Amino acid sequence: MRRTITAVPQPEQGVRHFARWVAAECPEGARVLNVGAGCNLSGELPAVRRRAAVLVGVDPDDSIADNPTLDQSHRSTVQDFAAAHEAEFDLAFSVFVLEHVSDPAGFTEACARVLKPGHAFMAMTVNLWHYFGLTSWLANRLGVADALLARVRAAEQVEEYHFPIEYRLNSITAITRHLESAGFAAVEFRCWDLPSMYQSYLPARAGAFARHYNRCVYAVGSPHLMGHITFKATRA
């Protein structure tokens, strides 16, 4: 499998930055699948909406019905959806979904299955090997994630936004392995670090640490240690 890994400058706004990349890769007149569309809690994706001729969303959660940007919505796992929609899409993407995937092999195989040959699956996720990812993983494994989240988030925000994390498909190594097994021929990783996306989860006194880490990780130029992983994987 061909693979490139690049550290890119930190964007002003992470989700919008990724959406512009998705839109740039979107063929004219494309039929596009948003995997884990929910109700866009991570933010609107106007660049994708403008470019896609048809935007379809799939998500097992009831919130899929509340996403007003979709032309079609399906309350389903992508694995079940793929069985009836093989080679139907010109592009598929996901935003902050991979860290919640409990069956990486089944998920990536389904993402490959819905795509036409030679077309791409793109995703954005938090990086397991970043301090935020490692802390989240450890807190979840120790069973204290909800208690810690309640200390930095209002109760209604926790109820609205918090979904179980798995952290089985959010490192460069794990993503590469599962994409290759699913039949993708190439993957381009673009990684970046953006302190403002993590500081709200940290104690106030730890804000300086986030900024210092950011400077250090760019100084050494290590994509593997940056906070967010984005990628474009091309189906064989």
Q: What is the CATH number of the domain that holds 33?
A: 3.40.50.150
Q: How far apart are CA 101 and CA 109, in angstroms?
A: 13
Average pLDDT over residues 73-89: 97
Domains in the chain: how many in total?
Answer: 1
pTM: 0.92
Average pLDDT over residues 94-110: 96
In a domain, 30, yes or no: yes
Which tokens hold the place of 69?
């940007």
Identify the band that residue 158 occupies on the pLDDT scale cut at 50, 70 and 90. Answer: very low
In a domain, 136, yes or no: no
Residue ranges making up the domain that contains 171: 2-126+164-192+226-235
Whole-number pLDDT of residue 206: 73
Whole-number pLDDT of residue 159: 52
In a domain, 23, yes or no: yes
In a domain, 141, yes or no: no
Average pLDDT over residues 149-160: 53
Residue 178 has pLDDT above 70, yes or no: yes
In a domain, 180, yes or no: yes
Q: Which residue has the higher pLDDT, 188 or 204?
A: 188
Whole-number pLDDT of residue 52: 96
In a domain, 133, yes or no: no
In a domain, 85, yes or no: yes
Whole-number pLDDT of residue 144: 63
Within its chain, how far is the Cα of 120 from the centroid? 14
Instruction: Classify residue 167 as left (phi > 0), alpha (psi -120 to 50) or beta.
Output: left
Whole-number pLDDT of residue 188: 98
Identify the band that residue 41 occupies on the pLDDT scale cut at 50, 70 and 90. Answer: low
In a domain, 197, yes or no: no
pLDDT above 70 covers a percentage of the chain that reads 89
Calculate the alpha carbon distances from 6 to 187, 192, 207 in Å. Answer: 11, 9, 26
